[in-house]
Chain A
Amino acid sequence: MTARTVLRNEWRLLMADRALRIVLGLFAALLVYALANGVVWLRFQERTVEAVESGNGERTSALQQELDAIANGGQPSSPFADPRSPLVLGGPSGSHTAALEPGSLTALAVGQSDLLPYYYDVNIYTNESSFQQNGEVENPLNLMVGRFDLAFVVVYLLPLLVLALSFNVLSEEREQGTLALTLSQPVSARSVVAAKLAFRAFLVVGMVLAMSLLGVLATGGFDSPGRVLLWCAAVVTYSLFWFVLAAWVNTLRRSSAWNATVLVGAWLVLVVVLPAAINIAAGLLHPLPSRVEMITAQRDASNDAVNRRSELLARYLEDHPEMAEGVVADEPGLGALAWAATDAVNRRLEEVTSEHDARRADQIVLVRRYRFLSPALLAQDVLIDAAGTGDARFAHFQSQVRAFAEQWREFFVPAILADEQMTASVLPNVPKFRLADEEPGDATRRAAVPLTVLGGLVLLVGMGAGVGLGRVRGAD
């Protein structure tokens, strides 16, 4: 009996089972729906990014027009919004929106991209508290539930399909009495089960990968082949884990019903209970510091700063001689005084934030260790990171926005301090945000450990199954 015979036989058997045909059809339909959902979300993000970027252009050209008009003897539209003032040109009305292009595989995994901000308005008043705002106006209920995307289908539903296809891969033969018959042929139980599972794996993984690649193709995600490969690797490894688990349970020589119960139990524990329990445990053992503290620190700082503006300005000029060109410290303009106060508040906020962020980073390192308790958590982590919708890419974006805000200040603050007026000629030189996206290797590097652990798990359980199958005799 060759592997081909097994495969052909399997195909016939699977297709003869009406329930299984329905389940496979349903799974395919869910895959299509999940992908469609992801594409809708991707398009929405793309449209938003496009809109905020064209908003940048519109603001600039409106300022350009107004500045030109003023240069030709016109009046500013409002005495409080004179674009010649660097506080206005570099302030909210002249702000530049820094946006993060959606990750190349966003259509496959929405991940954290519905929760974390992907654009910030940057102006001279951008500070740490700006990163706290910028919440989307999304329905909180939808955020809580999460999206129905391919990553969800892969992490939650795919294991159930795998288990439905293979919980009785060996036990059924035993129950129907065909095991002795099969093993009387010159073939080992190991190769029979391997062939059967390989066929099923080919079917299931093939469906998911085909749908993923279709999604990538439709949304132009092939720009980063590394991410696509990473995604595929995670899908394959995670599916294999469930296949070898089913094979191993089958070698325990129990009934099909027992296998089904145990495997569904394993799914429940690894995919539903453990991650939820870990979240509780992590919250208890490593509570994240409250953000409330930050908000009040800002108020304290701004109270204090307004009263000591002149003193702060003097100190500022001492600390930033490069910004101080042409500033007469004896009779500073109102703008310079206000800026000194703003800067003092920003510094205080940065202190509190960096303290807070350091504590938070420590906690997150600890919390992330718990990932290794559940293959579902590992898989989810790699999948969304590969898609470019994980926490890491957003943190990278935020740090770039922070640097850009600094660049923005460096451009406008000297003029504020010197109480200078600006003209249309500076507009082309105003800093523009250019995202230096993560290197393709970054995600791969982060995924290396979880993916290796997942692969190791597959090998371990697979070897256990192999050993168990080696002991199977037809007379069992």
Chain B
Amino acid sequence: MRNTLLVASREYAENARTKGFWIGILIFPVMLVGVIFVTKWLAEDATPTRHYIVVDQTGSYSDKVDSRMDLRYAAGAFKDFQGWMQKNLKEEFKSNAKVDFESIPPINMKDFDADQFLEEMMAKNKDTLDRALHPGGFDDLVEEARPQLVDEAGDFESPRRKFLRVPLPDDLSETATPKEIAEHLKPYLKGDKSLEVDGRNVDLFALVIIPSDIDKQFEPKDTVQAIADGVKALAGFEPPKVQYWSTNLADTDLPSILSSTLDREMRHSQMVARGMDPNLVAEVQKMKIQVKKLDPDKEEGKEEVSQADVLRENAPIGFVYILWISIMQVASMLLNNTIEEKSNRIIEVLLSSVTSWELMAGKLLGIAAIGITILMCWLASAGGLLLYWSSPEATMITSLLDVIFDDTLLPAFIFYFLGGYLIYAGIFLAIGSLCNTIKEAQNFMGPVMMIMIVPLLTMAFIPKDPHGTLATVLSWIPIYTPFVMMNRAAADPPAFDLYGTSILMIFSIIGVLWMCGKIFRAGILRTGQPPRFMEMLRWLRPGSDK
């Protein structure tokens, strides 16, 4: 026991004392935060302004497209402005600012509905909207609010437009055929030529051609016409289509805004043509039947599922991921360590001082302590980060913290961490004892990784069907038990699964450690080639180590 503790404390000290270890620990939260910010930055700032041309030969769509793009831009600008104000308002004015930015409706850029935004702004904050849509409109607002702002508040900078419509080049007429227009503009689209806009040369991102007969297909038809159209379609005649030309097909923002705007406008005019009242239709379309989600497991009267509940259902995915990462990290630490001792031949001296069991136990213990240290650091940095994150999402953060420090999830996490750690550490330790170099170990690691990856592949699906066949079957495979049961933890798995798999896991741990102990003992002094499988089986026979 004394020797085990000595080995464990050395193992811990050696790892915890290196800078690399702490960098390794902190890199995970830093990366996580980094990824969030970088994607945000990429989405908002890193893409250049896209210049596009709309050739509208019907004459009825381009204005609508323009105003829709404007509104979309305005909404983004409002969102920024809102954030800027919140940051710069003096504390005492946070709740009763002169510029009533609270009345700006929540804006979700992902499925932004310009009409709804417009409508809500008109209803609640028309004045602000009118001003903000004009150039420099925010400047006025800022100046007006200045007395309420903190002293160091600078100027609000309106965000850059992401899409900018440019006119056709002078040498091209709007009335040319779509084919001619496309041919003429191809070199611009390919980047061989550039357009001149306000004295600057810019690349053409996209070209949209709306042919003049685009609406014809939607017009109300009599029977004869309908039959004629059917025959035409059979003969291979295609109805006219809007053409969207661009070399960049990955950026779908522009085409999707376009198509939704065109659909809206077309539907609007078709409604009028068919004698329907668009306002009435819009009103009806806004009607919505609310669906309330209820959970029968919850207390009477409080069954309604809240945001925290949803978070709690999904939190195990995060836990599983962290479980997986941390187990992998410490288990490979163990592997490297063992290989180092082996290739340095330190192992021989160690084995003249401690038994192989003591050595193995010491290593397991020392690295387990390292693993717990890592988890504590992550937990602390997560907690710290979330608390520091001052923002309107405060309620979300409290519920997230509640979930993290939940009274069933956290203990489950610790239990499954230890269980998973012992299983995989045992396996890795045995591999380490068989190999002289990391390279040799990689041959073993390949198949092990293939097996280990399974819980990562299934972790997103299991919470959706936490007691389904897949989840149940995987739960009963001991090497997956920690991950899958963690995955199911929030859904209160049946007691039979919960205790049964735990007991099975504990027995498996004992089995794995016993087996690995044998392999460790036999393999640790081996040099040369890793052993063949049959040879390893022989080591497991009773009495083979004596």
Do A and B truly interact? no
